[in-house]
Structure formats: C-alpha cells, structure tokens
Amino acid sequence: MSGGPLQLALREWRDRFRHPTTLICLAGTSVILAIIAPFDGAALLRPLPRLAYWTMVVTTTYAAGLWVNIYTLHRWADRLPRQRRLAVIGLATATCVSVLVWVLNGMWLGFWPAGTALAVYLAQVFVIALIVAILIEAVVQRIMSATAPMVGPSILDRLPLDKRGTLLAMSVEDHYVRVTTTKGQEMILMRLSDAIRETATTPGLQVHRSQWVATAAVVAADRKGDGAVLTLADGTQIPVSRRYVPAIKEAGLLPAR
C-alpha cells in the first residue's frame, strides 16, 4: 500500500470501523444508552425511536471521532512531541463530536441550546463522548488483542490480521516503514530503528540505511559493485550498501569471491 497521510488514515479508519468487534460494541453501547435514557430521553422518545436515535448518535460520533483521531495522528505524528500530539488529537476529537451531537440533536429533536445552556450542554456532551469513546476503545482493543493470532515478532501486531504472515523485510518510505510479509505489505507510521527493535524474535539484518531483511527470507545474494543485492523468497531484490557487506558475509549470506 502506498499514499500519503490521508490515504493511510482512510484505510486504517475503514478497517477499524468495519471490524465486527467495533460494530458489536457500537450496537451494545446504543442499546445501553437507549435503556438508561440519559437527558430525560424516556420522556422525549418512545423505546424504538430512542434506540434509533442513540444508534445514530453513537455510530456517527464514533465514526467522526475515530476519523479525526486517526487522521490527526497520521498528519502530525512526526511534527509534534507525544504529549502535544495527544492534546491536539483530544481537542480535535472532542470539538468534532460535540458539534456533531449539537447538530444531530437540533435536527432530530429540535433542541438548539444557546448561551449558557449551550456551554453546559457541550460540557456534558464532551464528558459523555469521552467516557463512551474510552469504553468502546478499551473493549475493542482487549477483544482484538485476545483474538489476534500470536505469530512472530511484535511488529506484526501492528498489521491488519490478513497481513500477519512470516516477516520478510522492511523498508523506509518518507516517515513510514513498509513491512513485507508472506501475506502482503503494509505501511506503518514509525521509525525503522523502532521497527527493528520489534523484530527481536526474527533473525535479521539491516543491510542499508533504509532496509532490513529477515535472514531466513534470503534465497540468493550477489555482489554489485562495492555492495550487493539480496533476493528474497518472494522475488524481491534488496540492495546492500557497502557499509553492511561485512555483516551479510558474517551471516553467511554472501559467498566469498
């Protein structure tokens, strides 16, 4: 997969939002809110309309909040320190969700608070949105972690389930690392040095300032000038810079001249 922050964020948003566990959690949250009927909901709406209302609110606000969260992370991860980045994400997500709920309530219930009432209302929405988002995210992450197959190094935990094959190689593209496995490729927003640390259980070598390979994936090695070229099991060819030639010799990947 290739593309900038927008394309990468869009794919991650789609995968997470459409995940069965997420949909189940959203449905469960909607049912719970329809039953407890906060904000005098029982007096305003009958049971079925109330369920439809909360399903709409929970689904749209979670989708919007998730999108703002993911896009902001992809757009600013390399520009802001972690604490400032989290503050930006929190503020952007809370603002988006609060405005969206205000509009939905106005359109659905004809409720358009203003002045002090609006400030109190938005504060309440912010707190509820924050609690719901944390609960849903905690449940989703716990269930997805429990159901994810335990295969290979921890770097694979960052990949979609359908891409978690045997680790073959990693390469740098802009601020992203392209992770290649026997089941495909995926771009991850991180540094190569951090990605390499997460391959601890897979023997491998850095062979270029922007390339890492799993030694078991190498099926051929040939010299090329002062460097070399490694051929992987999937046919991919990886360049080896002169600086790393001694390392691949020591690993027995490059035959002596």
Say if residue 22 is in the same domain as residue 138: yes
Q: How far is CA 206 from the centre of its chain?
A: 25
**Same domain, yes or no: 66 and 135:** yes
17 and 143, same domain (yes or no): yes
User: Is 133 found in the same domain as 11?
Assistant: yes
pLDDT tens for each residue of 213-224: 998 889 888 888
Predicted confidence at residue 146, as pLDDT, reads 54
Q: What is the pTM of this model?
A: 0.49
pLDDT (tens digit per residue) in 75-118: 655 555 656 655 666 666 677 777 877 887 788 777 787 888 88
Angle at 39 between CA 35 and CA 44, to 5 degrees: 75
Q: Burial level of 68, CB count in 10 A (0-12/13-18/19+)?
A: buried
Rg (CA), the chain: 24
Q: Are 75 and 9 in contact (CB under 8 A)?
A: yes
Among 93, 117, 147, the domain-final residue is 147
Domain final residue pick, 97, 130, 147: 147
Which residues of the chain fall short of a pLDDT of 70?
Answer: 1-9, 38-44, 72-93, 128-152, 255-257
Q: In terms of domains, do 29 and 143 share one?
A: yes
Asked if residue 174 and residue 243 are part of one domain, the reply reads yes
Q: Are residues 64 and 134 in the same domain?
A: yes
Instruction: Identify whether residues 141 and 189 lie together within a single domain.
Output: no
Q: Using N-to-C axis directions, what is the helix angle for 47-76 and 82-109, rounded to 10°?
A: 150
Give me the domain span that covers residue 113: 5-147
Asked if residue 159 and residue 136 are part of one domain, the reply reads: no
Instruction: Examine residue 57 and state whether it is found in any structural domain, yes or no.
Output: yes
Count of structural domains, the chain: 2
Domain's final residue, options 147, 165, 190 = 147
CATH of the domain at 194: 2.40.50.1020
Question: Does residue 234 lie in a domain region?
Answer: yes
Cβ distance 177 to 195 under 8 Å? yes
Whether residue 167 is found in the same domain as residue 142:
no
257: in domain: no
